[in-house]
Amino acid sequence: MTWAARLALAACALAAGGARAASDDGLHPYAGLLYSYDDNLFRLPDNSPGYDNTRADTSRQLVAGLSFNQAYGREVLTAQAKVSRVTFSHFTQLDYNGKDLSADLAWHLGNRLSGNLGGAYSEVLAPYTDVVTSERNLRTQKRAYAQGNWSFHPSWVARAGYNRNRYVYDLSSQAYNDRTDNQFETGVDYLASSGSTIGLQARSLRSSYDVPRLLGRQLIDNDSRQRELKLKVGWRVTPVTELQFLGGWAHRTHAYLTERDSSGANARLSGNTLLGGAVRANASLWREFAPVESGLVSYSLNTGVSAGASWLLSAKLQLDAQTRHEKRAFKGLLADSAGFDLSDRSHYNSLGLSYTPWRQVQLTASLFRESRGGVAFINNGNYRAQGVSLNLNAQY
């Protein structure tokens, strides 16, 4: 029996026995089967015939993993280990084995100190939204973090944290994106008796690239640093409605070609609420600097809006909808000398229906539609894509 067949059989066995799981604590195996169809897998322009005169493809993903959750006094340890096998019907060169590992320790020391310590590892297929190629491009991400809180007063909390992310791409033509991000964050919050909070947050993000980027005939150091000082607000408007705001000033600098340096207002406003006891809704607005995985531009200023809703139709049936619209204004490298507007606008909409026949078994059907209008000069031209997926998940 092949590995894939064994995994499929395990998923069926878990589906049959998943209802017997009685507790979320301890060690739990799980499995999943996912079938997907995408009519524009590589996000090609409408007038492109595609690779091998093919634009669409179907994929199958088999997943098996273990999840762990256990309290040790006031400390809580959560962990997950997952492997997956992803195969494509036409573009078989993209077939890969995925890996995901993560662990987190929520710790307490006395009555005033608490925080989280953890790490994660993942291997997945990188997106093709800003890359023109039909080759397989796996992205490996390693993350380590530590965060602590000090309750020095019943109404005041000081916090500090460190987050390190390492990104490596296995496609040699994308080696210029291999980098390490080191983020330091500190802040102080006032805790109101209503459950709302207000405070200040300072953050420093340094990105260090493994290899220089080629600009014309010149190799340049693309390392960057971003410093931020922002107001952080969590407002509990009602017992079922919350608003979160994080906004202020951001200053971005570069090790080379300092004319790429930029500063300005960066902010994100998010909210969620419960409507009528059965519909949970959320929405976000943002204006933020973001890195771009491209050899032609350095970063972008993103402005956008998103909204989503989950409607509990019955005890076993849930309908989910999401929409997202974003504009990216590109900066740095060739963007500064192009002489015309280099920006794109993307739109994403999805709808999903989930059925939970037993407590630990879920069936999901979903569809999406995605489009972008941009400038083909930097490999971000116009495209449209749509697709559907069917998913079975079971946990014992």
pLDDT in tens, 53-67: 999 999 999 999 999
Q: Give the pLDDT band of residue 257 (cuts 50, 70, 90).
A: confident
CATH number at residue 325: 2.40.160
If you average pLDDT over residues 75-90, what whole number do you get?
98
User: Does residue 138 form part of some domain?
Assistant: yes
Query: Quick check: is 202 in a domain?
Result: yes
pLDDT at 34: 98
Rounded to 5 degrees, what are φ and ψ at 333?
Answer: 50, -125
- The rounded mean pLDDT for the chain is 89
Three-class SS of residue 52? Answer: coil
In a domain, 253, yes or no: yes
The residue segments making up the domain with residue 376 are 64-81+90-389
Query: Which pLDDT score, from 0 to 100, does residue 241 have?
Result: 97
- Give a yes or no: residue 27 inside a domain: no
Q: Mean per-residue pLDDT for 125-152?
A: 93
pTM of the full predicted structure?
0.86
> Percentage of the chain with pLDDT > 90?
70
In a domain, 11, yes or no: no
The whole-number average pLDDT for the span 88-107 is 97
* Residue of 108, 97, 177, 190 whose CA lies nearest to 148: 108
Distances 182 to 163, 201, 291, 299 between C-alpha atoms, Å: 6, 17, 14, 17
The pLDDT of residue 381 is above 80: no
Tens of pLDDT, residue by residue over 224-235, are 899 999 999 999
- Of the candidates 312, 319, 380, which has an alpha carbon nearest to the alpha carbon of residue 351? 319
**Quick one: average pLDDT of 156-163?**
98
Work out how many domains the chain is built from and give that number. 1
> Does residue 21 form part of some domain?
no
Cα atoms in the Cβ-side hemisphere of radius 13 Å centred on 106: 11
Q: What is the pLDDT of residue 9?
A: 46
pLDDT digits (tens, 9 = 90+) for 314-365: 999 999 999 999 998 887 655 555 556 678 899 999 999 999 999 899 999 9
At residue 155, does pLDDT exceed 60? yes
Question: Residue 286: inside a domain, yes or no?
Answer: yes
- Looking at residue 212, its pLDDT comes to 85
Task: Please tell me the distance from the alpha carbon of residue 349 to that of residue 354, in angstroms, as a whole number.
Answer: 17
Would you state the pLDDT for residue 7? 42
Domain membership flag for residue 44 = no
